[in-house]
Structure 1
Amino acid sequence: MTAFKDFNFKLLVVEKLMYWDETLLPAFSMAEHLRARGIEDLHDYVEENGLEFTVLAEGRAFFEELEIPAHLLATVEELTLDGGHQVYMECAPVWDGEDDIFDVHSLDDLDLLPNLKLVTGGRALEHMVPGSLDVLAARGIAARH
């Protein structure tokens, strides 16, 4: 079992594999998940329960429990930090990108990505994890700002 230490780092990997590469399937849809529970309007559900600026428990549970096989992790050559990721919208459907709920806090999970060559969003990562550009450089991973 592959265990990620940083949930938000894992979400970057999920974004790449599930929503960009479409190799980690089926893709999770919060709207479909809630419809299966009889909740028809995702945005009403979020607003009525005061969940506007939080990761919904359903999304957190799904992605925390999601197993990512090592052979798929080995295909990740690039990660991109971007507030518009689909995985973020599935976790926090009305998130406005104005807070730090999806900030990466640790680079300990880099060991899970043996073929990572590039991180796009290096300045943002350096803001989240001071010294991260040095860590990437020491591993031979390029950072694009």
Structure 2
Amino acid sequence: MAEFKDFNFKLIVIEQLMYIDEKLTPPFDLGAHLRSLGIEDDPWEYAYKNDLAYKMLPEARSHFEALEIPGELLAQVEELCMDGGNQVYQECSPVWDGEDELYDVASLDDLVLLPNLKRVIGSEFLGPELCGALEARGIVAD
């Protein structure tokens, strides 16, 4: 199984495979996950009650860190979308507005895991250096 160096990059890949392409199943649902842990609060209530507003819930982080993504699925990724409204972020941080660096990608070392990546939408969030790294690999940075 592939090992990601940048957790936030992994989340973008999960967004594509789980919530857009629906190939990485079952989709993670934070509310259902919390209930399975015996937490009956709505995810928003839980975040506020536990001083987790505008943070990643540890329960979601643990799930996604442990999630293994088969290489054959990674090889199918041709496009990624970086957007503060991504479903994966809502599942990680039910109280988050996308206005900080919580989910910023710091490294593109994990590009080697996506041999067929052709395009990254929302790449302006990466900054000029990382956008340049995309373009150097022939990946369209929109």
- Asked if Structure 1 and Structure 2 have the same fold, meaning a TM-score greater than 0.5 normalized by the shorter chain, the answer is yes
Aligned to 1:141: 139
Q: Which amino acid aligns with 2:137?
A: R
Question: Which consecutive unaligned segments of at least 5 residues does structure 2 have?
Answer: none
Q: CA shift at 1:8, angstroms?
A: 0.3
Code of the aligned partner of 1:139: R
- 2:39 aligns with 39
Corresponding residue for 1:25?
25
Give RMSD over aligned pairs: 0.9
1:103 aligns to what? 104
User: Any idea what the Cα deviations from partners look like across 1:43-78, whole Å, max 9, x if unmatched?
Assistant: 211111110011111111111110000000001000
TM-score with structure 2 setting the length: 0.96
Does residue 11 (structure 1) correspond to residue 4 (structure 2)? The answer is no
What secondary structure, in the 3-state scheme, does the structure 2 residue paired with 1:79 have? Answer: strand
1:49 maps to what in 2? 50
Distance, in Å, in 1 between the alignment partners of 2:64 and 2:32 is: 15
2: CA distance, partners of 1:123 / 1:11? 17
TM-score, with structure 1 as normaliser: 0.94
Percent identity, aligned pairs only, is 59
Write out the 4+ residue segments of structure 1 that deviate beyond 3 Å after TM superposition.
none
Aligned length: 141
Distance 1:81 1:57 in 2: 22
